[in-house]
Amino acid sequence: MSVDKKKLWLLLVALALILVLVLVLCVTSCEDKKGKLPQVGLCLRQYEADSEYGRLLEKCLTEAGYQVRVQDAMNDQTRQTEQIKALLDEGVVLLVIEPVIAEAAEDTVSLLMKENVPAVFVGNKPEKAMGMWNRLSFVGSAEDQLGQLQGGIILQVDNRGDLNEDGQVSCLVISGPEDDTKAKSQAEGCINVLVTEGLLVEQIQTSWGDWTGESGRLRCAKALSQYGKDIEVIFCGNEEITLGALDAVRSGGWQIGRDYYLAGVGAVEKLHTDYMTGTVVYDLEKMAQQVLSTGKALINGETVEREYYVNLYVLTAETDLE
């Protein structure tokens, strides 16, 4: 082989090796990009109480191309704060947060601002914290709407809740933690609607606790055991509490519509099987889609509204679900 041919051959071999190396680097880079989806932290106050909504949020975000890190604070603010810190350290591009305590969100926002990571708050609106930064938004329902709609369910009943016809409506309210603004608003709203309509209302008990079904069942059972049919109307703060209360009523040998009226949240499948008087329903699909679109806009640095509200709607025992 001549010198010129040998040099040409060596040059071709070198070019081939360079080409192979470039291809390997490209494939590796593509695999890395494919395997490293942008991360979004989904920080829920209490997963059991928000399991359906949590699953919908996770599904929407995942289908949009994000790796979702779900965190359950178990109704513990300190735990949630530590979870948020850990997610920020891991490089999330967005946090979706349901605050355990709305007032504590100011510290959370300070952490977000330091790392320049936007957030969408859901469920429990942190009123003061929302004004701290322009990379925040809230998606939910108007806090006073739930209670108002529940009170409206009772007003639609022929006797307007006065089962024993003694001239007043005696109510049991079972809601979440007493320091939760959403719980307080629901508890006050359902009673205020009845009073505003001119009814004489006896608020036998407002039972504060957590948002779980077991808590709802135990508190309802205890109240029914203590007050019996002195109670005429039961208002429930969320779907889990509603299911727990219905179980307590049934287990005690009572019947909704005959012994008590019950205005719940969700639990649509119980409308006819348990003769639930009525229920307020969240449009969870619409809320989850709004969280997704708002979150994507925040990630892209776009301007968003400070608050987005999705209306609730009412179903009653007379509603045809077919």
Beta-carbon neighbour count of residue 68 at 10 Å? 18
Percent residues over pLDDT 90 in the chain: 74
pLDDT at 50: 61
Mean pLDDT for the stretch of residues 179-203: 93
Name the pLDDT band for 155 (thresholds 50, 70, 90): very high
pLDDT at 52: 83
pLDDT at 153: 97
pLDDT at 29: 40
Beta strands 313-316 and 278-281, pairing class: antiparallel
pLDDT at 33: 41
**pLDDT for 140 beyond 80:** yes
Of residues 110, 101, 92, 52, the one with CA closest to residue 288: 52
Name the pLDDT band for 26 (thresholds 50, 70, 90): very low
Task: List, in sequence order, every residue forming a beta bridge with 120; answer none if it has no partner.
Answer: 96, 137
Name the pLDDT band for 8 (thresholds 50, 70, 90): low
**pLDDT for 27 beyond 80:** no
Mean pLDDT for the stretch of residues 174-190: 90
Q: What is the mean pLDDT of the chain?
A: 89
Contact call for residues 122 and 114 (beta carbons, < 8 A) = no
Beta-carbon neighbour count of residue 147 at 10 Å? 27
- For the chain, what is the total number of helices (H) and then of strands (E)? 10, 12
Name the pLDDT band for 28 (thresholds 50, 70, 90): very low
286 or 8, higher pLDDT: 286
**pLDDT for 51 beyond 70:** yes
pLDDT at 16: 57
Mean pLDDT for the stretch of residues 118-142: 93
Of residues 259, 132, 239, 261, the one with CA closest to residue 186: 239
Six token digits for residue 120: 């969408």
- pTM as predicted: 0.78
pLDDT at 101: 87
The dihedral through the CA atoms of 273, 274, 277, 279 has a sign that is negative
Of residues 121, 242, 122, 113, the one with CA closest to residue 174: 242
CA distances from 114 to 133, 193, 297 (A): 11, 44, 20
Name the pLDDT band for 34 (thresholds 50, 70, 90): very low
Mean pLDDT for the stretch of residues 261-271: 94
The tens digit of pLDDT for each residue in 267-318 reads: 999 998 888 999 999 999 999 999 999 999 999 999 999 999 999 999 997 7
43 or 144, higher pLDDT: 43
Mean pLDDT for the stretch of residues 108-122: 97
**pLDDT for 21 beyond 80:** no
